Amino acid sequence: MKDSRLTRKVLDRLKEHEISEKDVLIHSPVDLSLDGNYIKGFIAVTEDKVVVLEADLPRDTVHLFRNAENPEMTPEEDLCEYDVRIYDEDKLAHIRLDVYVGSNVLTGSYEGEDVIIACFTNRYQEQMNVLYRKLKGALHGNELEAEEQSEPEDIEIAEKKNKRTIFGRTLKYFLKYKILVFLLVITYTVNGVINIAWPYLIGKVLFDHVLEKDKAFLDSFGLGENILIALLVVAVVMILVRFTQALSNYLQIFFMARLSSTAIRDIKNDVFDAMSKLSLNFFVNKQTGGLMTRVLSDSDRVRNFFIDGLPMIFVHGITIVSTFIVMFNLNWKMALISCILLPLLVFMTVKLRPGLWILSGKRHRAEKAVSSKANDNLTGARVVKAFGQQDEELKGFEGPTANLKNAEIDIAKLRNRFEILYKMVQEVSGIWIWIVGVFFVLQTHEIELGVLITFVGYVMQLNGPMNFFSWIFRMWADSINSAERLFEIMDAIPEIQEAKDPVRLEKPKGVIELTDVTFGYRVGRPVLKGLNIKINEGEMLGIVGRSGAGKSTLVNLISRLYDVNEGSIKIDGTDIRDLSLTDLRRNVAMVSQDTYIFMGSVAKNIAYGNENASRANIIRAAKLASAHEFISNLPDGYDTIIGASGKDLSGGEKQRISIARAILADPKILILDEATASVDTQTEKAIQYSLNYLVKGRTTLSIAHRLSTLRNADRLIVIDGGRIVEEGTEEELRKIDGGIYKTLLDLQNKSLSLQTEF
């Protein structure tokens, strides 16, 4: 980013305060004043000072945000007069970065007084975060190192591919099937030639030569006097031509279907392949449902253009050009006169079509609103009825449907107007040609009737291609957009990537070691802060903490659904980033609070990730998970189809199936994330029992709110505010006065005793 560099003006100002460019170890732009106006400014950190430079901007400045445009200003062009504030680092303490809704504020205490150091918009959040962390480290006595400022590029702009490369890349998917493409080209050529020949055949040949008994012409075919035979030949040729056209049309559609479905299949496969490799973050950030429909509709749009659009550009283009050539050769005056109205048609379509597109986009959105509202209502039917809100919901439905109605009416109105106008101009131009043509034929004898008929045929024939070109560019743009979105998914670099030469994890022991693990889902908001812990082979570690303390995050990191920001996680001494992902996932099984059931039989669900499991083993696993009882009572037993469109299971039942899945997987490391959260006490006892069996010989991490679940844990840790605050055996933790574990335990015991009293 150009505007993140220190400008000459800024450097000059710094020099006045005896700070040279080399002294600045790290800097970042800032762009807000304390009273909430855009400014231009920088914050620069040196060995012992923090310098804030701020300047008002002239009123007519255009404020540029990320991706908006390349800021053109070079550091030399800066004309701002900067105000300078200098903070000595030894007097500065307690700096904080406060994130508000539309702004961020860096504060601290200077000489014992709280001060605001700088404000900035989200535009500079990333850079300021780096600066903040460095500065904070420096204030805590760490050596402040000069930052190799890796410029946060405007990635989208840098990588923005131009239309041609996207087009070429998409085309490759189709051109891969050379034979099919070749056959298609032949059929298109045949069609094109026939299109040109046809009006000539029925006009010039039939009327002027045959019906006019053009001797020279007939003689050249050796037909001489025999007009009837000549007529017959023309008829047969006409039939043959039409037949050839039909045949080539048939083949064209056939080849096209072949080519388009295979090419689109390839694209879709590539997209889904890429998607499955992407990390969890991608799916959390983009709604998965939207993603699926997007992939499907985008690939449809790409196909439509490349199959219906692209070849026709050539066909129609050639038709137009050759038609003009033929027309002008036949009679240039007549050609000029017939084409006089064509520009009007082109102008009309160019003018009116965009309105139609906007309206159809509007209708599409209105449709979506209606269907999502309906969907909402149907899925939430239970709540709607329970709260007696049917009438209100009905009323809420009226808005979207009325919108849809209006959109439909608007579009019908405009389309009507457009079509009537278009047809009218077409008709007028047809009549116009007849009138002028008849004048030519009768008055000047410049042309013959046949030529006139040929002309009318050509002009009518031009309408189609002209019309085509009025919308094909829109289609092109749409499909390139769609293709680009598809490639975006294909090219997205998975955040979790397997190392080049992954270390295999054979016969793992299951020792887990976390060193200084820091992690946050968003920049500048760490959930875990500098965690250190070693979990031994076969140990069961209980994790306790308030909701939102970071317990689930911790276990997600161990199964590498996310990568740590800082520090490392090692299994058997190897960093998990170097391990083969397949091995890692095979050896780490998770039973989590969000159970996931696939579409399929109960048996398949239990054997997920373990397809070769024997029936006996499946049943054994189900028994251990206390799932066998309810499964046997299902009418179809282990073959019952569950999941999206199958039988609905209760929360506890689903949970037991996922426990069975983990039991069957037989992992070396087992993660239980609230594994028994949605089962009743009795079932929990049963599962507890089976878990006791399950954890034997495995390294187990267990998260639970019900502390009784953790009674068998070898060791417990309490996480609070992203840090381990208490650690030890259950007995040890119970003795810490005022400790979190102790209070939680007291509270739970109390509510338990309350329950027994009733």
Partner 1 sequence: MSDNTINIYEKKAAEMTATNIIDPEDVFSKTPGGFLSLDRGGEHYERVRVIRLFPFSDADRFLSIRDHGNGDKEIGIIEDLNAMPEESKKLIKEQLKLSYFTPVIEKIYGIKDEYGYAYFHVLTDKGECKFAISMGSNAVTKLSDTRLIINDVDENRFEIRDVDKLTKKERRMLDLFL
354-361 contact pairs (CB < 8 A, 24+): 355/414, 356/411, 356/414, 356/415, 356/418, 357/474, 359/407, 359/410, 359/411, 359/414, 360/411
Q: Which helix (H) or strand (E) holds 279?
A: none
Q: Does 611 bind partner 1 (CB under 8 A)?
A: no
Q: Is 100 in the site for partner 1 (CB under 8 A)?
A: yes
User: Considering only CA atoms, which of 29, 61, 304 is closest in space to residue 149?
Assistant: 29
- The residue with tokens 């031994």 is 536
From the CB of 402, what's the least distance to partner 1, in Å? 12
**Distance from CA of residue 420 to its chain's centroid?**
41
Q: How far is the CB of 114 from partner 1 (least distance, A)?
A: 4
Closest to 44 in 3D by CA, of 152, 118, 139, 109:
118
Task: Report the residue from 36, 388, 573, 635 that binds partner 1 according to the rule CB under 8 A.
Answer: 36
Whole-angstrom distance, CA of residue 309 vs CA of residue 480: 12
Q: For the window 282-301, what string marks contact with partner 1 as x by the rule CB under 8 A?
A: ---xx---x---x-------
Among 10, 24, 25, 32, binds partner 1 (CB under 8 A): 32
Tell whether residue 484 is a contact of partner 1 (CB under 8 A). Answer: yes
State the Cα torsion 156-161-167-168 to the nearest 10°. Answer: -140
Kindly state whether residue 735 participates in binding partner 1, applying the rule CB under 8 A: no
Least spacing, CB of residue 731 vs partner 1, in Å: 15
Query: Does 413 interact with partner 1 (rule: CB under 8 A)?
Result: no
Q: Which stretch binds partner 1 (CB under 8 A): 53-61, 78-86, 542-550, 691-699?
A: 53-61
Q: Does 153 bind partner 1 (CB under 8 A)?
A: no
Distance from C-alpha of 92 to C-alpha of 87, rounded to nearest angstrom: 7
8 A C-beta contact, residue 234 and residue 201: yes
Asked if 466 interacts with partner 1 (CB under 8 A), we say no
Contact 563, 510 (CB under 8 A): no
Task: Name which position in 114, 225, 273, 516 contacts partner 1 (CB under 8 A).
Answer: 114
Q: Please give the structure tokens belonging to residue 319.
A: 């038709």
CA distance 139 to 131: 12
Report the residue number, 488 or 563, with the smaller CB distance to partner 1.
488
* 60 binding partner 1? (CB under 8 A): yes
Q: Does 280 bind partner 1 (CB under 8 A)?
A: no
Stretch of 10-18, 107-115, 218-226, 583-591 lying at the interface with partner 1 (CB under 8 A) = 107-115
Report yes or no: 158 and 285 within 8 Å, Cβ to Cβ: no
Indicate which single residue of 270, 367, 410, 488 sits in contact with partner 1 (rule: CB under 8 A). 488
Residue 72 as a binder of partner 1 (CB under 8 A): the answer is: no
> Interface with partner 1 includes 62 (CB under 8 A)?
yes
Number of residues near partner 1 (by CB under 8 A): 56
Mark 343-382 with x for binding to partner 1 (rule: CB under 8 A) and - for no binding.
---------------x--xx--------------------
Q: Which residues of 12-27 are buried (b: 16+ CB within 10 A; e: fewer)?
A: ebbeeeebeeebbbbb
DSSP letter string over 536-551?
-TT-EEEEE--TTSSH
Do 461 and 202 touch, CB atoms closer than 8 A?
no
Least Å distance, CB 727 to partner 1, is 21
Is 515 a binding residue for partner 1 by CB under 8 A? The answer is no
Q: How far apart are the first and last CA of the chain?
A: 67
**35 part of the interface to partner 1, by CB under 8 A:** yes
CA distance 456 to 203: 9
Q: Can you tell me which of 22, 59, 140, 500 binds partner 1, judged by CB under 8 A? A: 59
DSSP 47: S
Query: H or E stretch including 86?
Result: strand 83-88
Among 473, 488, 505, 542, smallest CA distance to 691 is for 542
For partner 1, give the closer residue by CB, 359 or 662.
359
Q: Does 165 bind partner 1 (CB under 8 A)?
A: no
Q: Which range of residues in 13-21, 117-125, 184-192, 250-258 is near partner 1 by CB under 8 A?
A: 117-125
21: amino acid identity, one letter: E
Give contact residues for partner 1 (rule: CB under 8 A).
32, 34-38, 57, 59-69, 96, 98, 100-103, 105, 107, 109-110, 113-116, 119, 121-123, 125, 156, 160, 285-286, 290, 294, 358, 361-362, 481, 484-485, 488, 742-743, 746-747, 749-750
